[in-house]
Amino acid sequence: MKKTAIGAMLIAALASNAMASELTVISFGGTSKKVQTDAFYRPFEKATGNKVLAGEYNGEMGMIKAMVDTKSVNWDVVQVEGPELLRGCDEGMFEQLAPALIGNPESFVPGTLSDCGAGLLVWSMAMAYNADKLKVAPTGWKDFWDTNKYPGKRGLRKGAKYTLEIALIADGVPHEDIYKVLSTREGVDRAFRKLDELKPHLQWWEAGAQPMQFLASGDVVMSTAFNGRVFSAQQEGANMQVVWNGSIYAIDSWAIPKGSKNKEIAEQFIEFALRPENQKIHTERLSYGSTNLKTVSLLDPKLAAQLNTAPQNLNSAVPMDNVFWVDNGEELEQRFNSWVAK
């Protein structure tokens, strides 16, 4: 009986290995890729026997479109931002996902599950400052514009997205009306007029690491920044602080390129990556909010309170309107680039 049982186990193991697949998962690289390896890739390999081939890109949708159009898809799961997910889904670049395979929508941050994607993290564009260099803490974007009370340069991301929303908030537009106002010609003009006030005091950044560098050196007194970058600086001992009031948050999602040969395993991976125990590792290491609402109970309460998804932080934030930026992004970015060049 024992030999029979051992033989059955060996046969099952061999069959499992024979059915194992290689899953190519593409993310934005850097530190996040290293964390995703520990939080998602290795645990998934251990749990399923499938091999994860981790790659990275810079969000180039043209690469995915070329694969799909030529039916030469060799990526199985890819990390995409909200507007790109929406546009790619509309253009047939991503597989449709069945939410039931991922989980109960009520267990996730609103907007996590969509037709073609499942959110893996919540990130924010927020105001950051070096508390060693400011005696009085700023409280919102109006302070960002107050160069008399806070003399010095300000850091802003070089782009229309986030910048126009922030300008309108600084000009007194209620959070819930930002995209309503920005959808009008008058609203766009209003945002650029507000930016005109600050233009002589601006230092633009393009790479995510730059705001912390600018703040540390004293080149700027305040800056927009990705919240995960601020957390990393804090972990390294820098006295960087975040102002959550008026921050803008969005969700990065996993999506499956249309024509993936491993769609079923890709869906299994996405479901696995969104489990609270795996999201816990990801959140602890990067400090981007978890999309799974059950993750918070697994976290140290002190860390949970620092996250962008903590209720007191999220309540004063503005959700990114992906539809707005898909419909208006190209035109607004062109106008922004012209304004910067003047």
CATH 3.40.50.150 is the classification of domain 2-122+251-314:
no
- The class level of CATH for 125-249+320-341 reads alpha beta
For the chain, what's the residue count? 342
Cβ within 8 Å of residue 162, ≥6 positions away: 125, 224, 248
Which two three-digit tokens encode residue 299?
Answer: 């976290």
Q: What is the pLDDT of residue 10?
A: 35
Q: What is the pLDDT of residue 31?
A: 80
User: What pLDDT, in 10s, does the model give residues 122-146?
Assistant: 999 999 999 999 989 999 999 999 9
Residues 191, 332: Cα–Cα separation, whole Å: 11
Name the nearest CA neighbour of 270 among 73, 61, 85.
85
Residues 237, 231: Cα–Cα separation, whole Å: 10
- The number of beta carbons lying within 10 Å of the beta carbon of residue 15 is 10
Q: Which phi and psi (to 5°) does residue 286 adopt?
A: -110, -25
Q: Which residues of the chain have pLDDT under 70?
A: 1-19
User: What pLDDT, in 10s, does the model give residues 1-57?
Assistant: 444 444 444 334 433 444 678 999 999 887 889 999 999 999 999 999 999 999 999
- 276 near 257, Cβ under 8 Å? no
- Calculated CA dihedral for residues 20, 22, 23, 28, nearest 10 degrees: 140
Q: What is the pLDDT of residue 2?
A: 41
Name the nearest CA neighbour of 90 among 324, 256, 331, 326.
326
Same fold, 2-122+251-314 and 125-249+320-341: yes
Residues 25, 52: Cα–Cα separation, whole Å: 7
Ranges of each domain in the chain: 2-122+251-314, 125-249+320-341
- Name the β-bridge partners of 178: none
Q: What is the pLDDT of residue 320?
A: 94
Name the nearest CA neighbour of 218 among 167, 156, 155, 170.
155
